[in-house]
């Protein structure tokens, strides 16, 4: 079996995707810090951030393994090439999934000991979403499970480990951050409609059609801004958060939208890198959201 460098193993877990799971934790911690005047458990928060990244890494490699076995990922498809290029053997990626899962579960058990056993339900939900994601993805459920995992479960779980209670108000964060994360997947699936059809799987993008896919993407990247404007008017979010997002993040969203609007005329070549650009939008959006919540 070929030996791999640390850099190759690191690339295999797709670290550039980690903001999708890490940012909801950070935004939630910032929101709780502001709302409860700094009275949160930062040790638990940092542990949760590390744990969710391990779970995300496990989910990435687990999905890559099944996409390769199912024939979704081939030499002519976009995306990760760790398996389709022959760099890694399928069994290596399969084992890597469990290697990444073990520390994630260990951190989860320690957090449950520190914060309380009700955290178990979030942990089981997260593991279930990661393990079932390939099966659900092939049956139009991928977008839904991503929103639940990286929106609802992550924000609720972070509230519990930071304050020892499930705080439904953090779902105000789950909606905008979760929708932009779903937009990353939607851009990917819209680009890959033809290759996904060839593999015999079904995604929302395949069922929706070109015009609906354009509308869905625009909704997923612009509605979060409208949502936060509403939260500001209701007094949940400071005004400077919205101002910062409108000035610095909306232009990125407009550029992404321009690419998606080219889809009906130019085809998938217009959105070849839109998933990557959407991930950058999510990173900037969430970082601005986090930093502005720390402003007194």
Domain annotation covers residue 67? yes
Whether the per-residue pLDDT at 291 is higher than 90: the answer is: yes
- Mean pLDDT on 224-246: 95
Band (1; pLDDT cuts 50, 70, 90): low
Q: Which of 135, 183, 174, 169 is nearest to 155 (CA)?
A: 174
156, part of any domain? yes
Q: Which two tokens stand for residue 160?
A: 């519990």
Q: How far is Cα 127 from Cα 229, in angstroms, rounded to an integer?
A: 33
User: 152-161, 165-174, 183-192, 194-203: which range is least confident on average?
Assistant: 194-203
pLDDT tens-digit readout, 4-63 = 888 888 889 988 889 889 999 999 999 999 999 889 999 999 999 999 999 999 999 999
Determine, yes or no, domain membership for 57. yes
Q: What is the pLDDT of residue 17?
A: 87
Question: What pLDDT score was predicted for residue 296?
Answer: 78
Domain range for 33: 12-293
- Total count of domains within the chain: 1
Mean pLDDT of 156-175: 94
Residue 223 forms part of a structural domain = yes
The contacts of residue 108 (CB under 8 Å, 6+ apart) are 51, 119, 123, 126
pLDDT at 112 (0 to 100):
93
Specify the pTM.
0.92
Would residue 236 count as lying in a domain?
yes
Banded pLDDT at 233 (limits 50, 70, 90): very high
* Termini Cα distance of the chain: 56
Q: What is the CA radius of gyration of the chain?
A: 19
66-77 in b/e form (b: 16+ CB < 10 A) is: bbbeeebbeeeb
Question: Domain for residue 2, yes or no?
Answer: no
Residue 76 scores a pLDDT above 70 = no
Q: What confidence score (pLDDT) does residue 110 get? A: 95
Token pair in block for residue 39: 């009275």
Residue whose tokens read 């760790």: 82
Q: What is the pLDDT of residues 121-143, one digit of tens each?
A: 998 998 888 888 988 989 999 99
Contacts 24+ apart (CB under 8 A), 30-37: 30/289, 30/290, 30/291, 30/293, 30/294, 31/170, 31/172, 31/173, 31/293, 32/158, 32/159, 32/162, 32/163, 32/167, 32/170, 33/293, 33/294, 34/238, 34/293, 34/294, 35/169, 36/163
**Residue 7, domain member (yes or no):** no
Pairwise CA distance, residues 125 & 138, whole Å: 19
Using a 10 angstrom Cβ sphere, with 0-12 exposed, 13-18 middle and 19 or more buried, the burial of residue 109 is middle
Q: Which of 80-89, 209-218, 225-234, 238-247 comes out lowest in average pLDDT?
A: 80-89
């Amino acid at each position: 079996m070929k030996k791999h460098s640390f850099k190759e193993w690191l690339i295999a877990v797709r670290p550039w995707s980690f903001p999708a799971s890490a940012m909801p934790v950070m935004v939630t911690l910032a929101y709780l810090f502001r709302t409860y005047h700094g009275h949160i458990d930062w040790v638990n928060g940092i542990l949760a951030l590390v744990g969710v990244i391990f779970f995300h890494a496990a989910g990435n490699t687990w999905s890559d393994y099944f996409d390769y076995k199912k024939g979704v990922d081939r030499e002519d498809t976009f995306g990760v090439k760790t398996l389709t290029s022959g760099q890694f053997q399928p069994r290596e990626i399969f084992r890597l999934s469990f290697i990444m899962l073990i520390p994630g579960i260990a951190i989860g058990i320690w957090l449950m000991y520190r914060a309380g056993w009700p955290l178990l339900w979030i942990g089981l939900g997260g593991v279930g979403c990661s393990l079932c994601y390939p099966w659900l993805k092939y049956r139009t459920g991928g977008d839904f499970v991503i929103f639940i995992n990286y929106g609802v479960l992550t924000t609720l779980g972070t509230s519990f480990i930071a304050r020892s209670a499930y705080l439904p108000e953090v779902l105000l964060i789950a909606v905008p951050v979760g929708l932009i994360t779903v937009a990353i997947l939607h851009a990917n699936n819209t680009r890959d409609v033809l290759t996904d059809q060839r593999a015999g799987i079904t995604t929302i993008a395949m069922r929706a059609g070109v015009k609906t896919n354009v509308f869905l993407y625009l909704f997923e990247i612009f509605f979060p801004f409208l949502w936060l404007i509403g939260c500001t008017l209701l007094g949940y979010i400071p005004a400077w958060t919205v101002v910062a997002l409108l000035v610095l993040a909306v232009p990125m969203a407009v550029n992404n939208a321009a690419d998606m609007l080219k889809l009906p005329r130019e085809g998938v070549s217009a959105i070849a890198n839109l998933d990557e650009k959407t991930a950058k939008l999510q990173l900037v959006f969430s970082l601005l959201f986090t930093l502005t919540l720390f402003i007194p």
